[in-house]
């Protein structure tokens, strides 16, 4: 932990480390979970063709999860019926654990999808720590997330994968009705090209605090 903090201090400076302790490490200390620290791609062992397009595990920051979910719910406010939440590439489960703790009344169900079986195990242990009752984790490629969508849904995507996997996943979901939270939205232009409609954007100094919210073409057309 100390090594990780010293490396971050060297690479990103004091403001980032302070923000990280407050919005990632502190969550774990309060809840007895283990979500805050990254898992480098070089130590991941994943037997899935989508691995070539996947990115490492880094945890979402508390304030980003809070702001993005609140905003997504506002955008969906006219939709009727209970809402499903899906985190595509949930890793150790920071966002779904946070969702279960602080947005439980707003969703009927939380689902995490993660292709790294080691991370799925850690995610399940984290969910047990907060006595999660509405959340489940699927050990498979997030490329298939469209299969799990029910209208209305909120999909959370923290730059989990890029390349062909990204294009295939979001093409398969075109006619579904959902609000997409895209953190570190490096391929936002590709989504617009596919017909996703940007509804909100927030900039920040670090990629972890930049995000955009989109309506799926299926939702925007309603």
Ligand X SMILES: C[S@@+](CC[C@H](N)C(=O)[O-])C[C@H]1O[C@@H](n2cnc3c(N)ncnc32)[C@H](O)[C@@H]1O
Size of the site for ligand X (CB under 6 A): 26
HSE value, Cβ hemisphere, 13 Å, CA-based, for 161 = 29
Of the candidates 4, 8, 12, 55, which one interacts with ligand X according to CB under 6 A?
55
Q: Is 97 in the site for ligand X (CB under 6 A)?
A: no
Please, what is the minimum distance in Å from the beta carbon of residue 80 to ligand X?
A: 27
Cα separation, 20 vs 87, whole angstroms: 21
Using the minimum distance from each CB to ligand X, give the nearer residue, 29 or 220. Answer: 29
Of the candidates 17, 90, 122, 181, which one interacts with ligand X according to CB under 6 A?
90
Cα separation, 60 vs 163, whole angstroms: 22
Using the minimum distance from each CB to ligand X, give the nearer residue, 75 or 122. Answer: 122
Helix (H) or strand (E) holding 71: helix 62-75
Which residue's C-beta sits nearest to ligand X?
A: 89
Q: Is 152 in the site for ligand X (CB under 6 A)?
A: no
Question: How distant, in Å, are the alpha carbons of 6, 29, 55, 63, 112 from that of 162?
Answer: 29, 32, 8, 24, 18
Taken as a whole, the chain contains a residue count of 222
Q: Is 135 in the site for ligand X (CB under 6 A)?
A: no
Q: Is 141 in the site for ligand X (CB under 6 A)?
A: yes
Which three-class secondary structure state does DSSP give residue 143? helix
Using the minimum distance from each CB to ligand X, give the nearer residue, 142 or 217. Answer: 142
- DSSP conformational letter for 70: H
51 with 115: CB under 8 angstroms? yes
- DSSP conformational letter for 177: -
Of the candidates 28, 33, 68, 87, which one interacts with ligand X according to CB under 6 A?
87
Residues 6 or more apart whose CB falls under 8 angstroms from that of 82 comprise 107, 108, 109
Please, what is the minimum distance in Å from the beta carbon of residue 182 to ligand X?
A: 11
Using the minimum distance from each CB to ligand X, give the nearer residue, 186 or 220. Answer: 186
Using the minimum distance from each CB to ligand X, give the nearer residue, 114 or 216. Answer: 114
Please, what is the minimum distance in Å from the beta carbon of residue 184 to ligand X?
A: 7
Q: Is 143 in the site for ligand X (CB under 6 A)?
A: yes
Q: Is 187 in the site for ligand X (CB under 6 A)?
A: no
**Residue for token pair 């654990």:** 97
Residue 131: left (phi > 0), alpha (psi -120 to 50), or beta? left
Residues near ligand X (CB under 6 A):
50, 54-55, 57-60, 87, 89-91, 94-95, 113-116, 119, 141-143, 158-161, 165
């Amino acid at each position: 932990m100390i090594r990780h903090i010293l490396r971050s201090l060297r690479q990103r400076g004091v403001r980032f480390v302070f923000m990280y302790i407050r919005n990632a490490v502190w969550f774990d200390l309060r809840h007895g979970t283990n979500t805050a620290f990254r898992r480098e791609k070089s130590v991941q062992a994943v037997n899935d063709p989508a691995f070539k397009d996947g990115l490492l595990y880094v945890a979402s920051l508390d304030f980003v999860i809070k702001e993005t979910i609140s905003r997504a719910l506002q955008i969906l406010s006219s939709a009727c019926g209970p809402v499903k939440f899906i985190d595509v590439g949930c890793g150790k489960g920071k966002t779904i654990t946070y969702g279960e703790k602080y947005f439980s009344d707003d969703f009927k169900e939380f689902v995490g999808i993660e292709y790294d079986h080691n991370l799925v195990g850690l995610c399940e242990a984290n969910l047990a720590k907060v006595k999660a009752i509405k959340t489940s984790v699927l050990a498979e490629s997030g490329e298939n997330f469209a299969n799990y969508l029910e209208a209305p849904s909120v999909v959370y995507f923290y730059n989990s994968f890029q390349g062909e996997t990204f294009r295939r996943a979001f093409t398969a979901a075109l006619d579904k009705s959902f609000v997409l939270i895209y953190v570190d939205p490096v391929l936002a232009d590709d989504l617009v090209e596919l017909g996703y409609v940007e509804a909100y954007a927030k900039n920040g100094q670090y990629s972890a605090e930049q995000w955009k919210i989109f309506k799926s073409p299926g939702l925007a057309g309603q």
